[in-house]
Amino acid sequence: MTLLARDCVGFVPAADTRLKVGDSLLIVATGAVRDEVERRLRAVSRRGRLARWFGEYGDERDE
């Protein structure tokens, strides 16, 4: 993640920064990994950081 905006303030997140509801992210990724990054973010959004353990892989679906 390159930049995180929270409460109208942008900053570079540290390794221990946790995402919060309402955060905006700027992520720079190569085309080769972009789809996987999007899937992982969807999975974590739905089921938390243990998403894969719960069988959530971030596939697109009607929500």
Digits of tens for pLDDT over the chain (63 positions)? 689 999 999 999 999 999 898 999 999 999 999 999 999 989 998 898 899 999 998 998 755
Note down the domain range covering 16: 3-47
Is residue 39 situated within a structural domain?
yes
3-state secondary structure of 1: coil
Is residue 15 situated within a structural domain?
yes
Is residue 16 situated within a structural domain?
yes
Is residue 36 situated within a structural domain?
yes
- C-alpha 49/C-alpha 40 separation (Å) is 9
Is residue 22 situated within a structural domain?
yes
The closest of 25, 29, 15 to 45, measured between CA atoms, is 25
Is residue 28 situated within a structural domain?
yes
Is residue 25 situated within a structural domain?
yes
How many domains does the chain fold into? 1
Cβ(45)–Cβ(61) below 8 Å: no
pLDDT for the residue 61:
78
Is residue 59 situated within a structural domain?
no
25 sits in which H/E element: strand 24-26
CB atoms within 10 A of CB 43: 20
